[in-house]
Amino acid sequence: SLLAACGNSEKTAEQPTEEGQKIEWRMTSTYPSTLIQLGTMGKRLEREVNKISGGNITLKFYEPGVIAPPFETFDAISYGAIEAGWSTPGYWAGKDPALQLFSSVPFGPSAPEYLAWLDYGGGKQLFEEVYHKHNIHSIICGMTPPEASGWFKKEITSIDDFKGLKIRFFGLGAKVLEEIGAAPQLIAGGEIYQALELGTIDATEYAMPAVDYRMGFYQVAKHYYFPGWHQQSTFFELMINLDAWNRLSATQQAQIEATCAANVRYGISEGEALQADAMASLEAEGVHIHTWPPEILEELEKAWNKVAADLSTGDPEFARVWASLQSFRAKYKAWSDRGYLKD
């Protein structure tokens, strides 16, 4: 099967565990367990992997900071201080820039296309190559639908409105905004709401409508933009120390992979189902829900292509992954343009 063919490409000196030998691992999370989707998918993984393995595998979920501060997860797993982590590859841009491309890509693919690249377009091999260098085995283990573009205090009617816009933004999207003359800001999570309210920043990106609604940003900014060009779909991951992974029996590895595959599927179905109610509630609160005009999206995409080219020049690994994704998408277009109804 496909599952058996991947994952265990290299042989190590480690002895696999006996069939049936129990493992109990700590899994530190970068999101609190109660956070819609981002955290709850991790809790689902904890629950389901225990059931599927008949109690043979325990991944004990730890809230962010209890054992490891969120951004320390990578080093801790790589070093073997803890065995596992729940996160998204985009967190590790500073460790290996290529990993950002396995999280979500500006103007990137939506869920089916992204998964197609990962499973059948060479994405997974690249993903494991990058991670194995760092002594980590990571498995794509969750997925979420598009995010919103964010909350703006004033309406944006042309690309020039971005010039000098103080916007709280993170990741590759921030780089794109910088390119078109906006001023991306790093505001601590706890201070976003107030900064937006008082006009210290003009706008902020956050998450999908179901999460944004709870944060209450609609009370201080009334313009909510779609689509989320910076994040069309997002992968989440189960990171495992490579030595610990290699010690697992083939059955245990298959059980973890099967749980993750199911987790991806539930991430999408739940994510797609959740947003409509939140959108209705937001509209009831008087939020103006906007769609980006095509010419603004074009400008943003142009800026992104320049950013991607720059990043590729700076980092060969990033270039390799970017080329793979691009060539897959170019080929895929022949299918997607014709296969799906357009409205």
Partner 1 sequence: MDVFIEFLPFLMFAVLTPLLFTGFPVAFILGGVGLAFWLLAVALGLENSNSFFLIVGRIFGGVVNKQVLVAIPMFIFMGTMLEKSGVARSLLHTLQLMTRRIPGGLALSVTLLGVILAATTGIIGASVVMMTLLALPVMIERGYDKALASGTIAASGTLGILLPPSIMLVVMADLLSTSAGGLFMAAIGPSLLLALLYMLYILIRTTLKPELAPALGAEAAKGQLSLSVVIKSFLPPILLIVAVLGSIFGGFATPTEASGVGAVGALILAAVNKKLSFTTLKNVVEQSALTSTMLFGLFVGATAFSFVFALLGGHDLILHLLETAGAGPWLVLAVLMLAVFVLGFFFDWIEITLIILPVFAPVIAQLDFGNHLIDPSLTLSWFAILMAVNLQTSFLTPPFGFALFYMKGAAPSSVKLTDIYRGIIPFVLLQLLGLAMLLAWPEIALWLPRVSG
Partner 2 sequence: MKGLFSFAQSLQRISNSIGRFSAWAIVLLALVIITDVVLRRWFVIGSTKLQEMEWHLHGFLFLMCLGWAYSKNAHVRIELVSERLSLRTHAWIELIGCALFLLPYVAAVLWFGFDYVSYSWAYNEASASPTGLPDRWIIKSAIVIGFAMLGFAALARLIYAGIYLFGPKALAEQTPFSHTEPQTGES
- Provide the binding-site residues for partner 1, judged by CB under 8 A: 32-36, 62-63, 65-72, 75-76, 79-82, 186-191, 193-195, 198-200, 214-216, 219-220
CB of 52 to partner 2, least distance (A): 33
Of positions 6, 52, 116, 183, contacts partner 2 by CB under 8 A: 183
Structure-block tokens of residue 293? 């005009």
When asked if residue 316 is in the footprint of partner 2 (CB under 8 A), the reply is no
Give whichever of 181 and 293 is closer to partner 2, judged by the CB atom. Answer: 181
- Partner in contact with 170, chosen from partner 2, partner 1, none, beta carbon below 5 to 8 Å by kind: partner 2
Segment near partner 2 (CB under 8 A); pick from 136-144, 168-176, 285-293, 334-342 = 168-176
Q: Packing angle between helix 40-52 and helix 250-284, nearest 10 degrees? A: 150
Cβ distance to partner 2 smaller for residue 204 or 263: 204
Binding at 62: pick from partner 1, partner 2, none (beta carbon under 5-8 Å per type) = partner 1
Q: Which is nearer to partner 2, 36 or 195 (CB)?
A: 195
Q: How far is the CB of 316 from partner 2 (least distance, A)?
A: 13
Backbone angles phi, psi at 151, to 5 degrees: -105, 130
Residue 194 or 327: the one with the smaller Cβ distance to partner 1 is: 194
Q: With respect to partner 2, which residue has the nearer C-beta, 182 or 256? A: 182
C-alpha 110/C-alpha 312 separation (Å) is 22
Provide the CB-side half-sphere exposure for 95 (13 A, CA): 18
User: Which ranges in the chain belong to alpha helices (H)?
Assistant: 2-5, 40-52, 73-79, 111-120, 123-133, 172-179, 192-198, 209-215, 242-247, 250-284, 294-314, 316-339
CA distance 241 to 134: 9
Q: Toward partner 2, which CB reaches closer, 104 or 253?
A: 104
* Interface of this chain with partner 2, residues 273 to 312, rule: CB under 8 A: 311
Q: Where in 92-131 is the site for partner 2 (CB under 8 A)?
A: 92-97, 100
By CB under 8 A, tell whether 171 contacts partner 2. yes
Q: Which amino acid is at 265?
A: R
End-to-end CA distance of the chain: 37
Binding at 63: pick from partner 2, partner 1, none (beta carbon under 5-8 Å per type)? partner 1
CB of 61 to partner 1, least distance (A): 9
Q: Contacts with partner 2 in 60-99 (CB under 8 A)?
A: 71, 75, 78-79, 91-97
Contact 170, 231 (CB under 8 A): no
The string of DSSP letters for 86-148 reads: EE-GGGGTTT-GGGGGGT--TT---HHHHHHHHHHSSHHHHHHHHHHHTTEEEEEEEEE-PPP
- Residue 20 binds partner 2 (CB under 8 A): no
β-bridge mates for residue 224, sequence order? 151, 289
Footprint (CB under 8 A) of partner 2, residues 138-167: 164, 166
The sign of the CA dihedral 236, 70, 40, 26 is positive
- Distance CA(192)–CA(211), nearest Å, equals 14
Q: Which residues contact 250 (CB under 8 A, 6 or more apart)?
A: 4, 8, 16
For residue 248, the minimal CB distance to partner 1 (Å) is: 16
Query: If binding means CB under 8 A, how many residues of this protein chain bind partner 2?
Result: 27
CB neighbourhood size of 181 (10 A): 13
CB of 127 to partner 2, least distance (A): 17
Asked if residue 178 binds partner 2 (CB under 8 A), the reply is yes
Q: Return residues touching partner 2 (CB under 8 A).
A: 71, 75, 78-79, 91-97, 100, 134, 164, 166, 170-172, 174-175, 178, 182-186, 311
